[in-house]
Structure 1
Amino acid sequence: MELLGKIITNILTALYEPFGFSLLLSFMTMFFYLYAYEPGEAGKGWKSALVTWYERFKERVFFRKLFLLVFVTSMILFRTLLNRNLWLNPLSNVLDGWGIWKTVNGEQVLTTEGIENVIMMVPFTGVLMWTFEEKTGNGWRKILWHSGKTALIFSVSIETLQLLLRLGTFQLSDIFYNTVGGVIGGLMYYGIRKVRKRL
């Protein structure tokens, strides 16, 4: 029960803290998307831009999917990079973080980092596969391959940036657990897709 309570508390805290920031970032990113792909509507003032944004959000499924993907990605980036303290030695725990117990000042302390790393990547790859479903294909092997590969690349990128920017520590366990979470996200997407087709 203690482990479950700690996981739920950490997840709710992780969702609560960056929620407003991620929503605003997603909103502004989609403005950039509109400017890049529909420049005819650019430069006509804020009122016109807001109306165009609202219309695209209401009319286009892909626009809504992309908005959700940017939101989930920014939540992850806030948790892993944007809201971290500087570390003097980011390579101090490269092989740490594999279990649910760690030793702090000679005492065993419960940690949920590994489980949280798995859970964090599940919605990311699920939403990614859903957003670009035409490109990922229908077969479960292809979906799992794409979701695992994407989670691995994304995780390695985050860990490398943590190393270079000294934000947190570089850990191989994070890469492993994030990749596992990515594969689970792809598997869940495949399962939901199969159920929807049958219904």
Structure 2
Amino acid sequence: MVSEIQGECVLSEVVFLIFVTSLILFRTLLNRNLWMNPLSDVMGGWGIWETVNGEQKLTTECIENVIMMVPFSAVVMWTFEEKIGNGWKKILWQSGKIAFIFSISIEMLQLLLRLGTFQLADIFYNTVGGVLGGLLYYVAIKARKRL
């Protein structure tokens, strides 16, 4: 009986992880136009202001990249909590590492498939979002233990 309940919990965690990953892949790969030169803006996207035709324009791309990876890394930590452990340094390291590898994979796929542009800022902001997701997960497990 207990193993059946644990199996259902693990299944629901994996299904939720697949759902969150699918949302990210839809946003970063599937919902993009083809680019002739995906390396045209490698160093772009570092700020919230960009110059378009001589005008300053507000862009939220960097904030979106951070926000996108927060739930992903939190769900990864939740799904694999037994393998990762519960120390805050280990959680932050693992969540940052997983977000970095996932972000590099997405950027390489964008480069190879010519979907969007390859940007170093995206990798950085996704990694920051991954670490914040790990921090959110750590705070949640500590709050759950106090209840």
Q: In structure 2, what residue type is equivalent to 1:134? A: E
Aligned residue in 2 for 1:174: 122
Kindly report the root-mean-square deviation, in angstroms, between the aligned alpha carbons of the 2 structures.
1.4
**Structure 2: 5+ residue runs without aligned partners?**
none
1:134-181 deviations in Å (ceiling 9; x for gaps)? 001010000001100000000000000000000000000000000000
* Match among 100, 103, 126 for residue 48 of structure 2: 100
Question: 1:191 and 2:139 equivalent?
Answer: yes
For the pair 1:162 / 2:120, whether they are aligned, the reply is no
- Taking structure 2 as the reference length, what is the TM-score of the superposition? 0.95
| 1:94 CA displacement | 0.3
* AA partner of residue 151 (structure 1): A
1:66 to 14, 37, 47: 14
Q: Calculate percent identity across the aligned residue pairs.
A: 73
Uncovered stretches (5+) of structure 1, i.e. residues with no partner: 1-55
Are 2:133 and 1:149 equivalent residues in the alignment?
Answer: no
* Structure 1 position 97, deviation (Å): 0.3
Equivalence for 1:31: none
Moved over 2 A (4+): none
Alignment partner of 2:117: what SS? Answer: coil
**For this pair of structures, how many residues does the alignment match?**
144
When normalised by structure 1's length, the TM-score is 0.71
Corresponding position: 1:110 with 2:58: yes
Letter in 1 for 2:79: T
Please give the secondary structure, in 1, of the residue aligned with 2:42: coil
